[in-house]
Structures are given as C-alpha cells and as structure tokens.
Amino acid sequence: LDTTMSQLDFPSGNCESNLKLYDLDTAERDGTLLHVGSVFSAADGRIRDSLREEGPRVVSFHNVLKWGSIPLAEALVEVLHIVREGLGAEADIEFAVDMGEGRSNQGSGQLGRQPSLNILQIRPMTRQGGLDRQVRFKETSAERILCRTTRSLGHGVVDAITDVIYVTTSELSGSTTPAVAKEVGELNAMLRLQKARYLLIGPGRWGTSDPSLGIPVEWSQISDARIIVETAFGDRSVDPSQGTHFFHNITSKQIGYLTLSAYPHRITPKDFIDREWLDGQPGCFEGDSVRHVRLDRPLLAYLDGRKGHATILKPDNDDEFDERAPEERY
C-alpha cells in the first residue's frame, strides 16, 4: 500500500492505483515472506516450510497456519469471544495483520517490530430463524411454476410480490451491464416510493465489481428487492454473489436469494425459469435491456432453507393461501 500518494485514481475504476506490486525476491529481502513463504523442492516434489531451502518460493501461510509462527489463531479466538460478549451474537470480522519484522534489529539486541492484529470492521451476523418450521409445498403442474432451483437461501413463504423487474437478455457484456444497473436502480427507487417489494431477475452476479460477470449495481440500487434471482450469463455459469457484504445484506434483510445456472451446469434439469411467460405479461416499463411487470395477483414463493430449494409459482385463482399457517410466512 503506497501511502505517499496525494491523489488516487479510484473514480476511473483503477482499484490498484494506490498499490505497488513487488516480486517474492523483494518480499524475502524485506522479511515479509518469513511467516507466509515456503519453498518447492524439485528433488522430491514437496513443499518445505523453511526459506533456508533452495528452490522457488511460494506463498503458503504454512508457518502461520501449521506452525504458529505468530499467535494469529489465538488472537482471533480472543477477539471473537470479546465481540460475542459485547454484541450478544455471532459476528463477522474483517481484519489485517502486520506480521512484524520477525527478527532482531541487527546489532541493537532489541526485538524488531512486533506482529499486530488490526480490526477493520465488525458486523453482527443475522441468524436465519424459523428453520425448524416446515415449508409445505404441494407439487403442482409445470405450467404453474415461474422459477425453480435447488440453490437458494432463505426460508419460508413469500406471498405479497406483484412487481417483477427482470433483465430481458443474458447476452450482455462488460460495456453494457452498467447501463442495465442504472435502469434497475431507477426502477428500485420508484418502487421504494410506492413501498412495493419486488422480484428481481438478471444474469450473472448482482453487485459484482467486474461488469463482465454480471450487473454492477450498488446495494442501494436493489435494496427493495424481496427475492433476487441470478441466472446464467450467456452460456456461462457464474458463482453466486456471496461476498461478505452482499451475504450480510440478504440475510439481515431476509431477502430470498436464488441461483439458476446455465443448463449444462444445473444440479437438476428441473431447475428452470419461464421467461416466455414473463415476456407475455403487460409491461409497466420497457427499457433497452430491463422490463418491469406488475401483476394483478401476487406470486407465491416457497423457500426451503434446510434443503436450499425454492419454487416461485405464477398467480392463480386457486392459490392455497388459507392452507398455510401465518407463522410460515417469511
């Protein structure tokens, strides 16, 4: 981290504008590699956890994780105990470690800079409740199903969604997804004023920092979504958006989160989404790549957090709302 710079180039998307990159030889001379480096022994094809060995250097963290060269694990246990006592709940912690110099100052007889643990952020983890309740879903015809997946987060029944915002194509690129994010953000702001929660559907990762992997929205641009569905990005399957901040937001706000991969990569061929039905509904907004639909009757979504399964049903006059106990609602 270069702290000598007076100006940074973050606005242009250059996230490394305040970083200087060095090779492992420089890191070894500096002493940084002492705690985190190992050596690949070509003679026997093994990793040796001592820099006294000859051979290519690799970053393994073995000296910290296996041999306890600094008491990182013990320090984290103590910090988690203090935080748990203070918050009354489990917590997610972001931290940085200064490994120290790892050697005495030459000729001084004094220890060098000592290792230190620096806490950057602490967030209480929201516990997903109600998993002891069974979500009763009666099998129905395929025509009734709008979306089904075996990769989901959330538990319960959602029965009050009449608005759907969805991206109409999965054939996007890094140059077009920012415009999609802008349209979605404007619709989210409008529905927030109307206090209308909605179903959000789109390709790739929502909230990604890489526009070529999904829709690069800020959380404020999708904050009023009730259920989020991530579909395939073209013919590619993209890993779910389970970064720390994203995961904290969807769990703390009890937002359903569904992932639907490209067909060859799906866990089961039953996983699908009925885009033709969505395209056939009257639209409130028709953008270049985004569409807003408002239904006369609400969708009915079943989310089973114990199995990670979810099914969203299209509106129907015979919806079995009265057959569910109120406490099943999510």
Per-residue pLDDT of the chain (330 residues; tens, 9 = 90+): 777 777 665 544 456 667 888 899 998 888 888 889 999 998 888 999 889 888 999 999 999 999 998 999 999 999 999 998 888 777 889 999 988 775 544 455 566 678 899 999 888 776 655 555 667 777 788 899 999 999 898 888 999 999 999 999 888 888 899 999 999 999 999 999 999 999 999 998 898 888 888 899 999 999 999 999 999 887 666 666 656 677 778 877 889 999 987 655 555 567 889 999 999 999 999 999 999 999 999 999 999 988 889 999 999 765 544 444 434 444
Residue 265 CB neighbour total at 10 angstroms: 11
Q: Parallel, antiparallel, or unpaired for β 156-167 and 198-203?
A: parallel
Residue 72 CB neighbour total at 10 angstroms: 18
Beta-strand runs (E) in 90-217: 91-98, 116-124, 145-149, 152-153, 156-167, 198-203, 205-206, 214-215
Residue type, 279: D
Q: Is this structure's pTM higher than 0.75?
A: no
Q: Are the CB atoms for 17 and 9 separated by under 8 Å?
A: yes
Please, is 288 exposed, middle or buried when counting C-beta atoms within 10 Å of its C-beta (0-12, 13-18, 19+)? exposed
